Amino acid sequence: MIVRRKLDIILTGFIIALLCLGVNGTESDIQWLPCEFEDEKVFLNEEGHIETQNIHKKATIQFGNDGDRPLYPNITFLVTASRVDMRHYLEGDKDTLNCIIRRYNIGRIVMRWPAVGSQEYDIWFTCTLRHTKGTFIITTFLRHTPSAPAGGQVDFLQRLKINDNDLLTTSAVMAVLTQTPSVEVGLLKEPTLHCQFAVDHKKANVRMEWIFQRHGEQRKLFSYSSHTAISKGTGVSIKDIGAGNASLKLPPTHKTSEGIYICSILVPPLNGSHTILLSLSEQPHVSLNVDSTLSLTLGEDKKVFCNAERYYPLDVSIEWLREKVGFSPTPVLLDNVLHSGHKHDHEGLFSLSAFFYLKPGLTDSGYMYTCKVSHKSLITPIRKSFILSVTAPYSTMEYITFFGFIVVMFGLLYQYLPQLIASKSFVVDLFM
């Protein structure tokens, strides 16, 4: 029973650790990553004002244990084991990941991070990893504890100087992740904006909120504090927040849903956030006012329409092309095409028509006319086509011959009809 109880305790602890980390799959086997370190030089200028100069240096994120030697001769941030491991969230290899390390300034806040070995004068960094295809962004906060400065206080003008071959031993203490850096959906959809976080200690004092920004204005959609257990707004599951999931489910989208959504996670003194761009897109419905084959008589004309309807956003391109059926030259772009003005309905969707006047000759018969519609929502343009058939009208001689034939037939019928009727009467009398 004692052994079983110990196993249950171990299993429970393992499950809690997974929840804290928010693990979605197997841990990446990446042992190091090339990074760019955006260092800062802070100084007082000649006028006594504070200035900051950005300095870009080569660096490496190396995962290992305290005391490991750097793998490469440049600035190395050695990330030792903790309950927060950014590799749990990574997809792809080194070539698909972009890594940037920056200093993180906590201002004049003086506090001890609730972890073993932390000090009031810890130095903080952020490591941001982006997938080159935009599938995720993760920001991890790294804590480095150097030797105590004089007086036990940190002067930002005398911050830790980092040389080109320095090794900094750090610990990952918090991570904030989104797998939806940008979202494109149609109208009346209910997308979920992903936001996930992990902290290296239990019962962390977490404050989180969602902010919406549009046209220079912003409003708070949701907020929650683990300290007070008070939440305001909708769209986020309080239960899921306890497991590190702060994703926001939106109501049915409309035009005013477009904008920037910011997920912010505050665990004092650290504040991590990610911005998510939401855009709307509706594919156009394309139609012609003619069938797939258009038959015209020489001298007849036709106004041909191509209608693109119920699309969003506004920008759309409609072109008419012409090519001979059975041949493979490059289609010719028609230059006599006119466009109607943009129209929009009560839902904010747009419509546009492109038309031209077709008055063909006999040599135009057998040509295919194609309407080509391009729009942001389309991977490839939509094409709608018809084939033109042109026939010549009857000539004057053909009309004379036709009507002459009709007159002759009526004359013969007038002459022989009485005799035919009389012969039928004789045959009837004979059999009666």
Q: Would residue 409 count as lying in a domain?
A: no
Tell me, yes or no, whether 191 and 295 share the same domain: no
Tell me, yes or no, whether 45 and 135 share the same domain: yes
Tell me, yes or no, whether 194 and 265 share the same domain: yes
Tell me, yes or no, whether 193 and 306 share the same domain: no
Tell me, yes or no, whether 122 and 61 share the same domain: yes
Q: Would residue 413 count as lying in a domain?
A: no
Q: Looking at residue 408, what is its pLDDT?
A: 66
Q: Would residue 410 count as lying in a domain?
A: no
Q: Looking at residue 155, what is its pLDDT?
A: 54
The yes-or-no verdict on residue 274 having pLDDT over 70 is yes
- Residue 374 belongs to domain with CATH number: 2.60.40.10
Average pLDDT for 10-21:
37
Query: How confident is the model over 26-73, as pLDDT tens digits?
Result: 456 789 999 999 998 877 888 888 888 889 999 999 999 999 999 999
Among the candidates 232, 258, 280, a domain finishes at 280
Tell me, yes or no, whether 211 and 226 share the same domain: yes
Q: Would residue 411 count as lying in a domain?
A: no
Query: How confident is the model over 106-159, as pLDDT tens digits?
Result: 877 778 898 777 777 789 999 999 999 999 999 999 999 886 654 444 455 557
Among the candidates 175, 198, 227, a domain finishes at 175
310 lies in which domain range? Answer: 285-391
- Which range (80-94, 222-236, 244-258) has the least confidence? 80-94
Tell me, yes or no, whether 104 and 123 share the same domain: yes
- Whole-number percent of the chain with pLDDT over 90: 65
Tell me, yes or no, whether 3 and 73 share the same domain: yes
Q: Looking at residue 403, what is its pLDDT?
A: 61
Tell me, yes or no, whether 158 and 207 share the same domain: no
For the chain, the domain total comes to 3
Q: How far apart are CA 141 and CA 79, in angstroms?
A: 11
Q: Would residue 147 count as lying in a domain?
A: yes
Q: Would residue 417 count as lying in a domain?
A: no
pTM for the model stands at: 0.76
Q: Would residue 363 count as lying in a domain?
A: yes
Q: Would residue 432 count as lying in a domain?
A: no
Query: How confident is the model over 312-332, as pLDDT tens digits?
Result: 999 999 999 999 988 767 899
Tell me, yes or no, whether 198 and 166 share the same domain: no
Among the candidates 146, 175, 204, a domain finishes at 175
Place of tokens 């839902």: 347
Tell me, yes or no, whether 289 and 310 share the same domain: yes
The yes-or-no verdict on residue 269 having pLDDT over 50 is yes
Tell me, yes or no, whether 149 and 26 share the same domain: yes
